[in-house]
């Protein structure tokens, strides 16, 4: 096949302990997956109709990377999340089979232009400009299930400039990893290379130019970064 212009490189995330990279196909995110965060956003928790949205695959920023402060916002917010990377996909995946599709886990930030999101929510508009901007998906190296197994209840923490901002346990998620995969596969045909952001706890707040952040999924992965 001959392309009319040079194709873009495939975004890739380092796989811990190897010289390999995980090729990112799509990035799926779930909103309001911790009750305390839903409450701080004055939003209802919905077990029936979870909120999903997407980020571009090339929005990733790998570990220790600089994050440029995005345009068109004065309210850049951090949202720390457990990350799930899929080795295989499919449609209508049963909850009981969902974890068989997971390749690795990590930790990341769902960066949000909160002012743009608030405007979109007030008008009933999509969140694309608030969530899917350049460099909006910092992510750690990925740690393979074959090496670490599936994490049980893990502590999820974010510090900014050494100050604790967010802290939770992953068993506080409203939808489990298996349930998220099941629900997504009823809406999309999931594929190898898909990345899932599994929701954030309370404590979301401003990031400013010059801030340094440290995110940790205890016993699994850490993420460092700098807003420039």
CATH class of the structural domain 12-227: alpha beta
Average pLDDT of 2-10?
96
Q: Give me the pLDDT at residue 1, please.
A: 87
Q: Give me the pLDDT at residue 49, please.
A: 83
* Tens of pLDDT, residues 106-150: 999 999 999 999 999 999 999 999 999 999 999 999 999 999 999
Is there a contact between 38 and 44 (Cβ–Cβ < 8 Å)? Answer: yes
Question: Dihedral of CA 162/206/72/40: which sign?
Answer: positive
Whether residue 46 has pLDDT greater than 80: no
Q: Give me the pLDDT at residue 42, please.
A: 65
Is there a contact between 46 and 38 (Cβ–Cβ < 8 Å)? Answer: no
Predicted TM-score (pTM) of this structure:
0.96
User: Which residue is listed with tokens 């809406």?
Assistant: 187
Domain spans of the chain, in order of start: 12-227
Beta-strand relationship, 143-144 and 102-109: antiparallel
User: Which residue is listed with tokens 């899929």?
Assistant: 86
């Amino acid at each position: 096949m001959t392309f009319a212009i040079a194709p873009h490189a495939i975004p890739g995330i380092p796989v811990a302990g190897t010289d390999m990279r995980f090729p990112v196909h799509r990035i799926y995110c779930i909103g309001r997956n911790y009750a305390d965060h839903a409450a701080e956003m004055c939003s209802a928790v919905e077990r029936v109709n979870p909120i999903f949205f997407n980020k571009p695959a090339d929005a990733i920023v790998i570990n220790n990377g600089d994050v440029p402060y995005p345009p068109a916002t004065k309210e850049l917010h951090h949202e720390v999340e457990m990350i799930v990377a899929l080795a295989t996909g499919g449609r209508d995946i049963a909850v009981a089979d969902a974890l068989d599709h997971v390749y690795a886990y990590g930790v990341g930030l769902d960066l949000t232009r909160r002012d743009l999101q608030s405007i979109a929510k007030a008008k009933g508009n999509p969140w694309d400009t608030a969530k899917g901007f350049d460099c909006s998906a910092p992510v750690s190296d990925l740690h393979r299930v074959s090496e670490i197994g599936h994490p049980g209840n893990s502590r999820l923490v974010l510090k900014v400039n050494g100050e604790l901002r967010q802290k939770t346990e992953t068993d506080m998620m409203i939808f489990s990893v298996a349930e998220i995969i099941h629900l997504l596969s009823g809406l999309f045909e999931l594929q190898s290379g898909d990345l899932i952001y599994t929701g954030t706890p309370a404590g979301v707040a401003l990031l400013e130019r010059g801030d340094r952040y440290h995110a940790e999924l205890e016993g699994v992965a850490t993420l460092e970064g700098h807003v420039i």
